[in-house]
Amino acid sequence: MKKVLIITYYWPPSGGSGVQRWMFFCKYLAEFNIKPIVLTVDEKKASYRFFDQSFLKNTEGIEVYKTNTIEPLQFYSYLLSGNKKEGIPQGFAGENEPGVFQKASRFLRGNLFIPDARIGWNSFAYKKALEIIEREKIDIVITTGPPHSTHLIGLKLKKKLGLNWIADFRDPWTELYYNRFLYRTGWAKRKDATLEEKVLEKADKVISVGPTLTRMLQDKVNANKDKFHVIFNGYDHKMFESLKPQKDKERFTILHLGVLGESQPILPFLEAIKKLMKEIPSSPEKIKLLLVGNVSPFYAKEIELVIPEIDFEIRKYIPHRDAIQLMLNAELLLNSLAEAENSKMLISGKLMEYVATGNPVLALGDTEGDSAFVLREIEQAEVYSRKDMEGIYGFLKGVFEKWDNGKLEQKTPIGIMKYSRKETTRELSEIIKSFGL
């Protein structure tokens, strides 16, 4: 059985979307005659914003090594909230308008810790990686980011040992949307770009979660295009098979799950709900808006201002299995993509899970982006520009009227299995085996 060393900062019991891609890859790799060995950070020392103990079930039988780390984000969190965990930023979604302290902290974070503030793990991880590689006779290493500082571990191992190295990008690096909140100087931006370029040049294979991101990474370096690959995020078919929808026939529930920051405005959608409630007098008592995850405090105020009559609820992070159950229970799933310079490449980790429910999906964002590419294949799903009020309203009204007339169906999309975690792991296994070792 071929062995690979996977170096990832996020690993169970870390919660959130960042951990799931490689947790599920590792869960299924053995079925393709590949043994994953994981190197990660000690969760007691890590800057994890959320924890999800239920994820540990997916890692049973996987060999995992953990190391110490130095975490400036924990100090930042403590000063901000009095707690080492609760104030850790997640794309700044949960923060209010930054004060003087937050602005100064962001400046220091953006200009002292390059590429990111989790670089304090690198020296510990590098030392442990050398031990594991020698003991296990490993010749393939995989790094995944964010945090993109993890790729620098792979770069250093590549230079020292000359082994085969795969770099996986779950998000852009220098174009990561929240970098603009870090007040970076020109020097910091140039240094960050240089590090990214070195990683892209030296990695033997580069994987990303979508075609637009892959093309952007290709254009940054003069390298063989064949070394760049796309593997979409997926959904765990086994979990979906174990759950059943539990619908409230009296409620039309609209769900947004995950991070919802101020760079992901939903005002056009709220205006569409307001218009629907005005046109259909019976609708206000039937509609419920549910926002679950790391939600900016801004949205509670905005919802109360725009549609004060709506029944809405905001919940904090919940375990993944509970999140999937909520997706299945809802009537309409909302996905609000961030407004960013490179918005075409944005494709949220939860999108494939949304689609797998068979429920209608309404996304707000770039109509020519990667999310639209995926949703275009799905019968009850669409992406609308935030400027397209008529389109947003028409989709919302159509779904609501179907539900109100008892005709809204939960349809499992044709071809959805290609996004199952097992099938995406098959794609990964083919890349790993292409080294022919």
Query: Residue 429's domain is classified under what CATH number?
Result: 3.40.50.2000
245 and 196 within one domain: no
77 and 198 within one domain: yes
299 and 188 within one domain: no
Residue 359 has φ and ψ, to the nearest 5°, of -85, 155
CA dihedral for 133, 136, 138, 141, sign (positive or negative): negative
According to the model, what pLDDT value does residue 73 have? 62
CA dihedral for 65, 349, 225, 193, sign (positive or negative): negative
CA 391 to chain centroid, in Å, comes to: 27
Residue 126 has φ and ψ, to the nearest 5°, of -60, -45
282 and 149 within one domain: no
With 0-12 / 13-18 / 19 or more C-beta atoms within 10 angstroms meaning exposed / middle / buried, residue 64 is middle
Closest CA to 388 of 360, 365, 370: 365
With the CA atoms of 37, 40, 43 and 44 taken in that order, what torsion angle do they form, in degrees rounded to the nearest 10?
Answer: 110
Residue 204 has φ and ψ, to the nearest 5°, of -75, -35
d(CA 17, CA 190): 29
According to the model, what pLDDT value does residue 93 have? 46
Residue 138 has φ and ψ, to the nearest 5°, of -90, 140
d(CA 377, CA 241): 22
205 - beta bridge partners? 166
CA 228 to chain centroid, in Å, comes to: 20
According to the model, what pLDDT value does residue 436 have? 85
d(CA 376, CA 370): 10
Range of the domain at 113: 2-234+421-433
182 and 48 within one domain: yes
**351-354, long-range: CB within 8 Å, 24+ apart, which pairs?**
351/233, 351/375, 352/232, 352/233, 352/234, 352/235, 352/419, 353/235, 353/324, 353/327, 354/327, 354/381
Residue found by looking up tokens 């549609």 in the block: 307
228 and 155 within one domain: yes
34 - beta bridge partners? 2
91 and 149 within one domain: yes
292 and 250 within one domain: yes
d(CA 171, CA 115): 13
9 and 99 within one domain: yes
d(CA 400, CA 25): 37
According to the model, what pLDDT value does residue 412 have? 84
Q: Residue 145 has which token pair?
A: 């980011």
State the total domains in the chain: 2
d(CA 173, CA 347): 15
**SS3 call for 41:** strand
Q: Residue 397 has which token pair?
A: 């009204």
Closest CA to 81 of 96, 69, 66: 96
169 - beta bridge partners? 145, 208
pTM above 0.95, yes or no: no
376 and 409 within one domain: yes
Q: How far is CA 70 from CA 73, 109, 114, 119, in A?
A: 9, 14, 14, 8
6 and 136 within one domain: yes
According to the model, what pLDDT value does residue 113 have? 87
According to the model, what pLDDT value does residue 75 have? 57
**Weakly modelled stretches of the chain, pLDDT under 50:** 77-79, 81, 87, 92-94
301 and 173 within one domain: no
**SS3 call for 180:** helix
Q: Are 203 and 169 in contact (CB under 8 A)?
A: no
